[in-house]
Structure 1
Amino acid sequence: MRSNGGEVFSPRIQKQAALRIALVAPKFAPSFFGRNHSLPIINPQSKAASFQGALPLLAALTPSPHTVVIFDENIAPLDISALQDFDIIGLTGMIVQTSRMLEILDELHDFHGHLIVGGPYVSVEPEVFQRRCDVIFVGEADQTWPTYIQNVADGKSHLTAYEQATTTDLTKLPMPKYGDLDCSAYAMASIQYSRGCPFLCEFCDIITIFGRRPRTKTPDQFIEELEHLEALGFSSAILVDDNFIGDKKKALALLDRLAIWQEKNGRRFRFTTEASINLGDDPVLLKAMIAANFTSVFIGIESANLDALEETRKVQNTRGDSMLNKLDRIRDAGLIIFGGFIVGFDSDEKSVFDKQFEFIQQAKIAQALISLLTPIPTTPLFDRLKSEGRLLRDHPECQIIPRNMTPDELIEGFHRLNARLFDPDAYLARIEDNMLALQKNGTIENSFRNIKAGLKPAKMARDFIITARVLSRLLASLFRDGELMDVGGRYFHNYLKWNKNTATRTPLGTYLAYVSDHWHFYKFVKQLRNRSEGVTHSFGG
């Protein structure tokens, strides 16, 4: 019988000099940003988009002489029998990993050592893991993890639930042990500069886990980690900050250092991150992000319905001029925008699905993630809907009772909106409009001329081979799904149309990257609609 709650737990493991610890990242359910259908086409050597940074950090926080082995089920199947030789098995996981986390714990129910669970999901709903594990870590574990490990090694009693009394000082964190990962299996690295967000969005669990006061590492720390990742073979990274510009002054300090580092290193490293829409009000930050070689940014736009934004306390999206103007300034600076949107707010009526579609097309956001409003435990939204008797915790898709429509109407509108957004012509029209806007304001030169200017025979031959292989894999995938004539035909038609206009003329390799991404989203929204097992409209949490 596993433990249940915060009581003191007597040691099951005998005192020993060195513990063997397995840290496990459960497989993600197919999701919007998982690139499950495009990675095998664009970069088949990569088994996953990126890694969960908590595990190499926990490995670095583990006191000597204990050893840690990281298992990532997203790049290789998990052999449960191979875990039996360890003293401690730790799992981390987001909401999109919940089902697999529970399956793994159930498969390990007779494990002789300690079963540990931490991460975002257990931090908001620890009761789900009762009787399934020995110890849980709620919230940050940078201080509590080393204490727990040392107590176990010394044969002492320990708690079954740990929660830090104070937030972590990120400047005191060690370098994550990135070398413990199979780095060749990931398309890009994962790195963190800050935690926390200053805003008060009603639906968000970030502030309940990490707080409203952003905390950062030093620029020197970040550069040291970056150089380590580059030495391991990475050339791009996602900054997994909750809001990169939560502390604008410290964000700018890092960007200035990164720009210098990039100049010294030939601007080889590319970045993407998440930021609030008020980035569009700060030309200095935008210029600094471009100088540091940021190429894209995810922005939580949520809704074209201003009443919904006010209702959910997303006030940063309602201040100043329009969201469309802010998004234009971000794009015009040279950043590709990924947008997050939600349907199901109390002020949303049945017309919201058409309004969201029209806004997204007008904003030219190709990669637009649509989610159903989901009440995460610990958030003000969850507490409010619970008090109003409007939670549907056991519904497979919709977890709320909407104000102005039925749950079925919300679900149907959600699927219809996704189908419209990721129709091949609608999706490619947003990319084309982006290119035309950038050409018009002179932000970038024609992509064909840019690439042509730097071509050399050896590189041309190599690029030709890569492009041919990508095309072959894409056509094979379209054929297997019976979409070669319809979707494939529309890809071909749009390519011809683009290349009739010098402003949108695009090298075939670049165009194949666009449509491979679309193919992932197109297949994903069909899986959502068909309620394929494990597929989720969320992308984290």
Structure 2
Amino acid sequence: MKIAFIAMSGIRACDTELLELGLTLPGFVERSKQIASLPSLGLLTLAGMTPKHHDIHYIEIPDLTAESTEVDHFDLVALSSYSAQIDEAYELAMRFRARGVPVVIGGPHVTARPHEARKYCTSVILGEGEPVWLQVLEDAQQGRLKLIYDARKLDFELADAPMPAFELLKIENYNRLTVQTSRGCPHNCEFCAGSNLICNRYKQKPAEKVLAEIDRICEIWPHPFIEFADDNSFVDKAYWKALLPELAKRKIKWFTETDLSVADDPELLRRMRAAGCAQILIGFESPTRDPLDRLELNRNWKLRRFAQYKTAIKTIQSHGITVNGCFIIGLDGQTADVFDDIVAFVRETELYEVQITILTPFPGTPLYDRLKKANRLIEPANWEKCTLFDLNFRPIGMTEAELRQGFHRLAVKLYSEAATQGRRNAFKQNFRKNVAVEKGNGYVLN
């Protein structure tokens, strides 16, 4: 079969004023470009496990006006999309179906809304794609695709994960590639639309498989920048302490997402730095304590860690690893003071980078269910607003207008050229001072 793996790529936002601001805010645009340029690791993984006798193609479509939507005939199309682009994915699926081409869609959104997705595609994959993909291919060849392939109760191990088909990519189109070391997260944050929505437990990929994927990337892209596609790296710190010396041998630079606990382990931080870790992203969510209460539903982990926020940032950055601190606007318990509170927090901690988003009720999350039950969703099925930058719920503690306008003003303060460069200069100066101190103590950071 001739198979197309199609990703709906790019950043979406409905807020035209924010989009216009973004054109002039370097700090805001930089991370947006990084996210927008990431390939779909899920589709590349399925492509990697597709038997070689099939003719496979990887295609990214930034929007439905792109020329790449008018593609050659395929025997099967696999589509991947986040909630913000799902309506475009549905429209594209209908275009293919009108030509008689069967379409399969998977991912967190359709796992949460399978009956919606069934209206537009031939088949829906619920949960992880790997356990059912070979069955999908067999059924497609026989012309008997099922409406739903439900992998949620199948026990798939990352030890069985295939090598993603990185060779399908035009490397010059990317500034970083993704590798996954784990799936899931031990925390249960109310708002999170990560892999917990498709994966029922935390899983770790064997280190030798991770290294093999990095080696494969290095074959086609010398000295790559890797983004580990984990919801929470370093949960298993012993695993990473064994992996990091091997990563150091590859001489790559990399980025990942994690939680505050990395600051508890200086040895881990030293090994991360020596292995090429450039930056970690941490979800602080709020610069003040009260809005964190019950945000993490298992053990109230975020609230219990709040007192350590500022010292943790200093500790991590003193090792030469920059911190990208994430804050959510619109949490219950926040007032219009949150905008000034974030600016003050960023200045005091000298965060290298900061990411602000608007609280977003993604389908399938406890947040969506809670706000819907309380009649606080503005448009419950307007997935186009699931962008992290558009408001689609009724906040408490400030008006909708105060939230939108405050978000715009905050973006200007944080992402102006002067503010962005000031944070970077402060990090460099502090790190140089720390290196001098460490040299005086007989230890030199790499």
Shorter-chain TM band = 0.7 to 0.9
Contact 2:285–2:292 (CA<8 Å) still a contact in 1? yes
Q: Report % sequence identity.
A: 27
Match of 1:283 among 244, 266, 271: 266
Correspondence list, 1:61-460, <5 A: 61-74=49-62, 77-83=66-72, 85-156=73-144, 158-206=146-194, 208-211=196-199, 213-234=201-222, 235-259=224-248, 261-262=249-250, 267=251, 269-313=252-296, 315-316=301-302, 318-319=304-305, 321-393=307-379, 397-442=390-435
Looking at structure 1, the residues matched to 54 and 150 of structure 2 have their Cα atoms a distance apart, in angstroms, of 20
Q: After superposition, give the CA deviation of every residue in 1:330-366 in whole Å (9 maximum; x if it has no partner).
A: 1011111112110111110121111011111222224
Q: Secondary structure at the match of 1:324?
A: helix
Contact 2:118–2:147 (CA<8 Å) still a contact in 1? no
> How far is the alpha carbon of 1:88 from its aligned partner?
0.8
| Gap change, CA 1:320 and 1:95, over 3 Å in 2 | closer
Alignment pair present for 1:26 and 2:8: yes
> How far is the alpha carbon of 1:220 from its aligned partner?
1.1
> How far is the alpha carbon of 1:323 from its aligned partner?
0.3
Contact 1:214–1:247 (CA<8 Å) still a contact in 2? no
| Gap change, CA 1:121 and 1:28, over 3 Å in 2 | farther
Looking at structure 2, the residues matched to 207 and 418 of structure 1 have their Cα atoms a distance apart, in angstroms, of 28
Q: After superposition, give the CA deviation of every residue in 1:455-487 in whole Å (9 maximum; x if it has no partner).
A: xxxxxxxxxxxxxxxxxxxxxxxxxxxxxxxxx
Q: Secondary structure at the match of 2:333?
A: coil
- What amino acid is aligned across from residue 312 of structure 1 in structure 2? L
> How far is the alpha carbon of 1:208 from its aligned partner?
3.7
**Of 223-232 and 307-316, the range deviating more from structure 2:** 307-316
| Gap change, CA 1:36 and 1:188, over 3 Å in 2 | farther
Contact 1:203–1:375 (CA<8 Å) still a contact in 2? yes
> How far is the alpha carbon of 1:171 from its aligned partner?
0.7
> How far is the alpha carbon of 1:375 from its aligned partner?
1.2
With the length of structure 1 as denominator, give the TM-score of the two structures: 0.71
Contact 2:103–2:122 (CA<8 Å) still a contact in 1? yes
Looking at structure 2, the residues matched to 122 and 153 of structure 1 have their Cα atoms a distance apart, in angstroms, of 23
**Of 376-385 and 314-323, the range deviating more from structure 2:** 314-323
Looking at structure 1, the residues matched to 417 and 437 of structure 2 have their Cα atoms a distance apart, in angstroms, of 25
Corresponding residue for residue 441 of structure 2: none
Contact 1:24–1:92 (CA<8 Å) still a contact in 2? yes
Looking at structure 2, the residues matched to 320 and 351 of structure 1 have their Cα atoms a distance apart, in angstroms, of 18
Contact 1:198–1:212 (CA<8 Å) still a contact in 2? no
> How far is the alpha carbon of 1:121 from its aligned partner?
2.5
> How far is the alpha carbon of 1:441 from its aligned partner?
2.1
- What amino acid is aligned across from residue 400 of structure 1 in structure 2? F
**Of 310-319 and 229-238, the range deviating more from structure 2:** 310-319
> How far is the alpha carbon of 1:162 from its aligned partner?
3.1
Q: Secondary structure at the match of 2:280?
A: strand
| Gap change, CA 1:443 and 1:202, over 3 Å in 2 | farther
Looking at structure 2, the residues matched to 351 and 335 of structure 1 have their Cα atoms a distance apart, in angstroms, of 30
Contact 2:232–2:259 (CA<8 Å) still a contact in 1? yes
- What amino acid is aligned across from residue 206 of structure 2 in structure 1? T
Runs of 4 or more off by more than 4 Å in structure 1?
35-39, 74-78
> How far is the alpha carbon of 1:81 from its aligned partner?
3.4
| Gap change, CA 1:30 and 1:444, over 3 Å in 2 | farther
Q: Secondary structure at the match of 1:319?
A: helix
Q: Unmatched 5+ residue regions in structure 1?
A: 1-18, 446-541
Contact 1:243–1:276 (CA<8 Å) still a contact in 2? yes
Contact 1:63–1:149 (CA<8 Å) still a contact in 2? no
Q: After superposition, give the CA deviation of every residue in 1:418-459 in whole Å (9 maximum; x if it has no partner).
A: 1211233222222222222222222799xxxxxxxxxxxxxx
Contact 2:96–2:102 (CA<8 Å) still a contact in 1? no
Contact 1:256–1:292 (CA<8 Å) still a contact in 2? yes
Contact 1:87–1:114 (CA<8 Å) still a contact in 2? yes
**Of 48-57 and 301-310, the range deviating more from structure 2:** 48-57
* Structure showing greater Rg: 1
Q: Secondary structure at the match of 1:326?
A: helix
Q: CA RMSD in A?
A: 2.9
Q: After superposition, give the CA deviation of every residue in 1:166-198 in whole Å (9 maximum; x if it has no partner).
A: 242011112111112212221122111111111
> How far is the alpha carbon of 1:304 from its aligned partner?
0.8
Corresponding residue for residue 43 of structure 2: 55
With the length of structure 2 as denominator, give the TM-score of the two structures: 0.85
Q: Secondary structure at the match of 1:337?
A: strand
Looking at structure 2, the residues matched to 111 and 289 of structure 1 have their Cα atoms a distance apart, in angstroms, of 50
Q: Secondary structure at the match of 1:79?
A: helix
Contact 2:131–2:151 (CA<8 Å) still a contact in 1? no
Q: Unmatched 5+ residue regions in structure 2?
A: 439-446
Looking at structure 1, the residues matched to 365 and 303 of structure 2 have their Cα atoms a distance apart, in angstroms, of 20
Looking at structure 2, the residues matched to 82 and 319 of structure 1 have their Cα atoms a distance apart, in angstroms, of 51
Looking at structure 2, the residues matched to 80 and 428 of structure 1 have their Cα atoms a distance apart, in angstroms, of 39
Q: Secondary structure at the match of 2:71?
A: helix
Contact 2:90–2:121 (CA<8 Å) still a contact in 1? no
| Gap change, CA 1:167 and 1:78, over 3 Å in 2 | farther
- What amino acid is aligned across from residue 348 of structure 1 in structure 2? Q
> How far is the alpha carbon of 1:67 from its aligned partner?
2.4
Q: After superposition, give the CA deviation of every residue in 1:346-389 in whole Å (9 maximum; x if it has no partner).
A: 11012111101111122222431111111112211112112211
> How far is the alpha carbon of 1:48 from its aligned partner?
6.3
> How far is the alpha carbon of 1:270 from its aligned partner?
0.9
Contact 2:294–2:303 (CA<8 Å) still a contact in 1? no
